[in-house]
């Protein structure tokens, strides 16, 4: 079965500093990988996704993620944190071929320090 | 614009009562999903549907049921609410055909007393 591990349930960074949120996956099929963001009292919004092709994926709000097959990782980065980035972030992987389910990690809460 | 809505946004009920949470999408997506979100557990899949009259159990389906009579709606029913079902519930939909991207509703916060 596919699985996702997000290292660090809470991450704090200073405003203007690099944001790095870690995601490692396990998948028996070529992975499709996703990052979602959840702002307080809202649903999840898609930040970016990797399916095939270029391994560096750019998303909304200045975020990007790099698929590294050898490391089974899909870490999310942003060069300069903004106060508005404070939210919870979820990494997800597709469950299997021909199966539209996603398996989500347990989430990382990002706090921005002024 | 297409959207996915959930109602009610907040619900307080008593143990043993039947509760139905509504989910409506205007994306015309075939696939719909129900999740619950609890601290430390992330999102866990309750039930899902790949089309009208199709329903499937997810990893935490005990005590929940769904039915799909049209493309737009997938209501979630708690047959006899329990305190362990206090949670935030999210509905999502996807377009299928390998798209995999799921679009989420705003959530329903359910409290069972």
pLDDT at site A19: 98
- pLDDT band (50, 70, 90) for residue B98: low
Is residue A62 within 8 Å of A78, Cβ to Cβ?
A: yes
What residues of chain A, 2 to 31, have a C-beta less than 8 Å from chain B? 9
pLDDT at site A18: 98
Residue B57 has pLDDT above 80, yes or no: yes
Is residue A82 within 8 Å of A30, Cβ to Cβ?
A: no
- Phi, psi (deg, nearest 5) at residue A59: -125, -160
Residue B96 has pLDDT above 70, yes or no: no
For residue B8, say if its preceding peptide bond is cis, omega within 30 degrees of 0.
Answer: yes
Residue B80 has pLDDT above 90, yes or no: yes
pLDDT tens sequence across B27-49: 999 999 999 999 888 899 999 99
Residue A96 has pLDDT above 80, yes or no: no
Residue B72 has pLDDT above 90, yes or no: yes
Which residues of A fall within a CB distance of 8 Å from B50? 100
pLDDT at site B97: 65
Q: What is the mean pLDDT of chain B?
A: 94
Interatomic CA distance for residues A35 and A104, integer angstroms: 9
Residues in chain A: 114
Whether B50 sits inside 8 A of A101 (CB atoms) is no
Q: Please compute, for residue B27, the number of CA atoms within 13 A of its CA located in the half-sphere on the CB side.
A: 20
Residue A26 has pLDDT above 80, yes or no: yes
Residue B105 has pLDDT above 70, yes or no: yes
Interatomic CA distance for residues B22 and B25, integer angstroms: 10
- List, in sequence order, every beta strand (DSSP E) within B1-113: 4-7, 10-13, 19-25, 31-38, 42-51, 54-57, 64-66, 76-78, 87-94, 102-104, 108-112
Residues in chain B: 113
Is residue A59 within 8 Å of A68, Cβ to Cβ?
A: no
Interface A:B, Cβ pairs < 8 A: 49
Residue A98 has pLDDT above 80, yes or no: no
Chain B CB within 8 Å of residue A70 CB? no
């Amino acid at each position: 079965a596919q699985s996702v591990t997000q290292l660090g349930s809470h991450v704090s960074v200073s405003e203007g500093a690099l944001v790095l949120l870690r995601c490692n996956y396990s998948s028996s099929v070529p992975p499709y990988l996703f990052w979602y963001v959840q702002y307080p009292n809202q649903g999840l919004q898609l930040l970016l996704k990797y399916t095939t092709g270029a391994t560096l994926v750019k998303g909304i709000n200045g975020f990007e993620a790099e698929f590294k097959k050898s490391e089974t990782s899909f870490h999310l980065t942003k060069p300069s944190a903004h106060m508005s980035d404070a939210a919870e972030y979820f990494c997800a992987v597709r469950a299997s071929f021909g199966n539209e389910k996603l398996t989500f990690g347990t989430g990382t809460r990002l706090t921005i320090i002024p | 614009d297409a959207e996915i809505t959930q109602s009610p946004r907040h619900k307080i009920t008593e143990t043993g009562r039947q509760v139905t949470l509504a989910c409506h999408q205007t994306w015309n997506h075939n696939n719909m999903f129900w999740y619950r979100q609890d601290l430390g557990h992330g999102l866990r899949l309750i039930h899902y549907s790949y089309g009208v009259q199709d329903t499937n159990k997810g990893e935490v389906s005990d005590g929940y049921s769904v039915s799909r009579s049209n493309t737009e709606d997938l209501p979630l029913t708690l047959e006899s609410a329990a305190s362990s079902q206090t949670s935030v519930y999210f509905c999502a939909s996807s377009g299928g055909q390998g798209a995999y991207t799921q679009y989420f509703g705003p959530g329903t916060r359910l409290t069972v007393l």
